[in-house]
């Protein structure tokens, strides 16, 4: 953590209120996000207990699995989830705009521009916490290999239609969430913690209720007290007033409320199965419905506070202006979404259980590149982030004190003006270090020439730079392309645009040592098999 972030946390302790950790919003927020507040059953690998889902904050849809160990009830839940999520996702796949993409021409092997569709917007999934993202991934994994009755009439427990498709989408969302700066699937706690520094540790920031309490404490209460209440306060029944944001539930809730309710449900179901005539069955069906309604009410009581908290958090985030580069990153998310849409339309198989070496290397390269891009863009968008980089010696800001025209040597001399900047910052500048500033949204490069006067003087450093590009083709630099005396400037030692490293070869060109093509030209990798069903499988 940088010293600036540390100071912000300490200020938060002093004032009893979270302090800004960003002055703009660094993630794109959709106009119409889909919020998902899931709950799981303790101890079962991804057995859902219920969820609140929807795009309308006033009308969430409640889905409940009254007996999580029952395979059919879980399937019903997943089918309902698919019916809610897929129409939302599909709606974004239908609206496209034309865009250009460079592809390798298969005949000539040259890079050529091709016109392709780009989805005009993309869906956005919001879950309360980071563990919610893990759960989305887990659901994706559990569903994408399932076979529907249509695909495989012999399947012992056919999945409802569209469930495997939802699994593929959730897998895609989960994978995309690993890319730094992406916004297709976001955890609200991460989002809030990125923009505010609270007076508690980052471990405690994982608690949505406590985090919100610091950012927006109730009138007249300090964030500290409100956060503690959110974490610990229990009602007379021993239940947390602010239930955990999930997907894990509070053990006290499981043991005291949920377990007895599930037991009643099981009993009612057994009684219904044992009913001997229609009249009796009618009666017992009523009991079963009542038992189910009770579980639904319990699940809603634990998810609704989190649902409301998520929307409140989104409101707080919307008050911040969106960072200039967040749109650029959102466009990348749209490409990612469009790409997956195309793969599904093309009938490609679901994502494999394990990536092959080429895919894995590509993914890692993407994440590294995007991390560097994110770091640079956040600094350019946000003076508070830039302040951290300046403190670290990776950027400097100051005022231009002198501009001397100079020219390059050579047949056609080009302008190479020398600019002196007075700064209080202490950048780590070595001989001919390249530095960059933003000029109309494009990076302009300069070279460090030397210090004018002693380094680290009382009145700051005088840094002499030689501007080397973006001044046009003529002998004289274009208007406005060279800073003038008195201009405030900010140069960075890091590049603004990320040029990807050397491109990885196509799969066909990759040597076998690196997971390249199999020896047999016709060998096709076996399609992934569904998980074999077992007697007691849980999902």
Partner 1 sequence: MPPPRTPGTALGPRLAELRGPEVQPKALDARALAALAANPGCRRRALLDGAGVNKTALASALGSPSAFGMSQFAFMRGNAFEARVKADGGAELLRLVHEKLDPSAEPPTEAATPDLAAIGPQGRAARTALALREASASGGWALLDHPMLVLDVAGSPAFLEPDAVVVHPDGSWTVVEIKSFPMLDGAADPAKVGAAARQSAVYVLALEEVASRLETPAEVRHRVLLVCPKDFTNLPTAAAVDVRKQRAVTRRQLARLTRVEEIADALPEGTCFAPDLPREQLTAAVEALPAAYAPECLAACELAFHCRGRSREEGAVTSLGRSLRAELGGLTTAEDVLAAAHGMAGDPEDPTVAALRRAADLRAEALSAAAARAEGARCH
In the complex, the residues that contact partner 1 under the rule CB under 8 A are: 1-4, 6-11, 13-14, 20, 23-24, 41-46, 138, 141-142, 199-204, 224, 231-232, 249-252, 254-255, 259, 321, 353-354, 382-384, 386-388, 390-391, 531-532, 534-539
- SS3 of residue 40 by DSSP: strand
- SS3 of residue 357 by DSSP: helix
Q: How far is the CB of 387 from partner 1 (least distance, A)?
A: 4
Q: How far is the CB of 503 from partner 1 (least distance, A)?
A: 29
In the bound state with partner 1, the residue whose beta carbon lies nearer, of 13 and 299, is 13
In the bound state with partner 1, the residue whose beta carbon lies nearer, of 177 and 467, is 177
Q: How far is the CB of 515 from partner 1 (least distance, A)?
A: 17
Return the HEC string of 156-206.
Answer: CCCECCCHHHHHHHHHHHHHHCCCCCCCCEEEHHHHHHHHEECCCCCCHHH
In the bound state with partner 1, the residue whose beta carbon lies nearer, of 287 and 355, is 355
In the bound state with partner 1, the residue whose beta carbon lies nearer, of 122 and 489, is 489
Residue 372 CA to residue 499 CA, distance in Å, equals 10
In the bound state with partner 1, the residue whose beta carbon lies nearer, of 228 and 466, is 228
Q: How far is the CB of 42 from partner 1 (least distance, A)?
A: 4
In the bound state with partner 1, the residue whose beta carbon lies nearer, of 35 and 82, is 82
Residue 523 CA to residue 343 CA, distance in Å, equals 21
* Number of Cβ within a 10 Å radius of residue 148: 16
Residue 46 CA to residue 538 CA, distance in Å, equals 8
Q: How far is the CB of 171 from partner 1 (least distance, A)?
A: 12
Q: How far is the CB of 539 from partner 1 (least distance, A)?
A: 4
Q: Is the peptide bond before 205 cis (omega within 30 degrees of 0)?
A: no
Q: Confirm if 21 and 196 have CB atoms less than 8 A apart.
A: yes
Q: How far is the CB of 415 from partner 1 (least distance, A)?
A: 31
Q: How far is the CB of 25 from partner 1 (least distance, A)?
A: 12
Residue 165 CA to residue 484 CA, distance in Å, equals 58
Token pair 């060998």: residue: 523
Residue 87 CA to residue 135 CA, distance in Å, equals 21
Q: Confirm if 465 and 483 have CB atoms less than 8 A apart.
A: no
Q: Which of 468, 458, 475 is nearest to 491 (CA)?
A: 468
Rg for the chain, CA atoms, rounded: 29
In the bound state with partner 1, the residue whose beta carbon lies nearer, of 244 and 417, is 244
In the bound state with partner 1, the residue whose beta carbon lies nearer, of 74 and 284, is 74
Q: How far is the CB of 259 from partner 1 (least distance, A)?
A: 6
Residue 365 CA to residue 403 CA, distance in Å, equals 41
Instruction: Give, rounded to a whole angstrom, the gap between the first and last alpha carbons of the chain.
Output: 40
What are the structure tokens assigned to 188, written together? 């609200």
In the bound state with partner 1, the residue whose beta carbon lies nearer, of 99 and 387, is 387
What are residue 422's DSSP bridge partners? 399, 462
């Amino acid at each position: 953590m940088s010293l600036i972030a540390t100071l912000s946390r300490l200020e938060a302790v002093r004032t009893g209120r979270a302090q800004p950790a960003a002055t703009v919003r660094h993630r794109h927020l959709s106009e119409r996000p889909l919020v998902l507040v899931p709950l799981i059953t303790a101890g079962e690998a991804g057995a859902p207990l219920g969820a609140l889902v929807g795009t309308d904050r006033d009308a969430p849809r409640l889905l409940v699995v009254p007996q999580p160990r029952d395979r059919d009830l879980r399937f019903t839940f997943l089918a309902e989830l698919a019916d809610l999520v897929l129409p939302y996702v599909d709606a974004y796949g239908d609206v496209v705009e034309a865009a250009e993409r460079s592809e390798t021409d298969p005949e000539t092997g040259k890079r050529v521009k091709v016109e392709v569709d780009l989805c005009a917007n993309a869906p956005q999934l919001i879950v309360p916490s980071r563990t919610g993202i893990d759960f989305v991934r887990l659901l994706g994994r559990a569903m994408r290999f399932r076979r529907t009755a249509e695909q495989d009439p012999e399947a012992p427990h056919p999945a409802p239609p569209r469930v495997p498709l939802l699994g593929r989408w959730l897998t895609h969302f989960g994978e995309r969430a690993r890319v730094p700066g992406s916004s297709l699937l976001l955890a609200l706690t991460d989002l809030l913690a990125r923009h505010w520094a609270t007076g508690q540790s980052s471990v405690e920031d994982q608690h949505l209720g406590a985090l919100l309490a610091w950012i927006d404490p109730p009138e007249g209460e300090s964030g500290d007290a409100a956060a503690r209440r959110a974490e610990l306060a229990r009602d007379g029944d021993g239940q947390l007033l602010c239930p955990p944001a999930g997907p894990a539930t509070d053990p006290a809730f499981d043991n005291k409320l949920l377990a007895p309710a599930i037991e009643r449900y099981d009993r009612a179901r057994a009684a219904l199965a044992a009913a001997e005539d229609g009249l009796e069955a009618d009666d017992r069906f009523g009991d079963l419905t009542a038992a189910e309604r009770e579980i639904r009410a319990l699940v809603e009581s634990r998810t609704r506070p989190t649902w409301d908290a998520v929307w409140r958090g989104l409101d707080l985030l919307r008050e911040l202006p969106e960072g200039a580069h967040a749109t650029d990153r959102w466009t990348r998310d749209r490409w990612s979404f469009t790409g997956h849409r195309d793969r599904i339309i093309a009938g490609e198989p679901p994502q494999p259980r394990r990536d092959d070496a080429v895919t894995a290397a590509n993914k890692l390269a993407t994440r590294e590149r995007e991390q560097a891009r994110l770091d640079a863009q956040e600094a350019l968008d946000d003076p508070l982030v830039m302040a951290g980089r300046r403190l670290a010696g990776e950027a400097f800001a100051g005022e231009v004190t002198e501009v001397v025209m100079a020219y390059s040597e050579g047949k056609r001399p080009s302008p190479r003006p020398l600019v002196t900047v007075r700064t209080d910052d202490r950048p780590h500048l070595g001989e001919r270090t390249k530095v960059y500033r933003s000029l109309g949204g494009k990076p302009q490069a300069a070279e460090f020439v030397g210090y004018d006067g002693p380094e680290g003087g009382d009145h700051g450093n005088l840094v002499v730079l030689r501007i080397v590009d973006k001044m046009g083709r003529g002998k004289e630099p274009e208007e406005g392309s060279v800073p003038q005396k008195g201009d405030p400037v900010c140069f960075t030692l890091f590049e603004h645009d990320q040029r990807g490293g050397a491109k990885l070869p196509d799969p066909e060109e990759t040597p076998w040592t690196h997971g390249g093509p199999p020896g047999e030209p016709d060998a096709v990798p076996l399609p992934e098999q569904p998980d074999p069903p077992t007697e007691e499988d849980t999902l």
